[in-house]
Chain A
Amino acid sequence: DQQVKQNSPSLSVQEGRISILNCDYTNSMFDYFLWYKKYPAEGPTFLISISSIKDKNEDGRFTVFLNKSAKHLSLHIVPSQPGDSAVYFCAATIQGAQKLVFGQGTRLTINP
């Protein structure tokens, strides 16, 4: 049972435009969400997170939106840069739990 889903395995965006990566979850108990970025041959690195008490969190070019009623979150990157080309994972947890549940990842390619 895939509790966290990233339905787009890949996304291609032109440099300078907005990249929008989507993530859906099924477990309504999840109350903390994270986005990770992964380059080849490296481990995932933390990008941005959001608690369920918020619907938006912003950090520089990265903004995460959370729609609890739709059980959906998205990561916006604007403007997109070539260095943003990577695989992006969303993850969810219940605060206090010792476990993160990951989506399958979306490969983002930024074209010059």
Chain B
Amino acid sequence: GAVVSQHPSWVICKSGTSVKIECRSLDFQATTMFWYRQFPKQSLMLMATSNEGSKATYEQGVEKDKFLINHASLTLSTLTVTSAHPEDSSFYICSARPGTAVWDEQYFGPGTRLTVT
């Protein structure tokens, strides 16, 4: 099946610094990529949707200046958490979907655990 990778798988950073998370579709072109955040024992919350070559669409309550999303190519999207704070510590998961609009064909990365100290 289709593979989506994320890098890094875990990262620890100091408060006030920025951290970048990469999401890559390895064997297909991802027209649309999604970024989710998951708190312990809670559901995956959609943060933003990005389409290649255009600006990301952020969900209500997600600060777009804090969570910078770039979808510069059909195989790569990045999420940069700027000026990270301990409350940004969470599990971030990306997903990617090829050119079709079928939800069955959404493929998830393994996630990135971010810890801000």
Residues of A at the B interface (CB closer than 8 Å) are 2, 4, 9, 32, 34, 36, 41-46, 49, 89, 93, 96, 98-105
Contact = CB atoms under 8 A, between A and B. Distances in A.
Contact of A2 (B32, B43, B95, B108): B43
Interface residues of B, number: 27
B63 interface: no
Contact of A34 (B44, B103, B110): B103
B99 to A, nearest CB: 14
B106 A46 contact: yes
Interface of B: 1, 4, 6, 9, 32, 36, 41-46, 49, 57, 59, 93, 95, 101, 103-111
A32 B103 contact: yes
Contact of B110 (A2, A32, A41, A103): A41
A45 to B, nearest CB: 7
A25 to B, nearest CB: 12
Chain A interface SS verdict (over half): loop
B76 to A, nearest CB: 16
A96 B110 CA distance: 26
Contact of A43 (B42, B103, B104, B111): B111
Given A45-B1, A102-B36, 15 more contacts: A4-B43, A9-B41, A34-B103, A42-B110, A43-B4, A43-B6, A43-B111, A46-B104, A46-B105, A46-B106, A93-B103, A98-B32, A99-B46, A100-B46, A100-B106
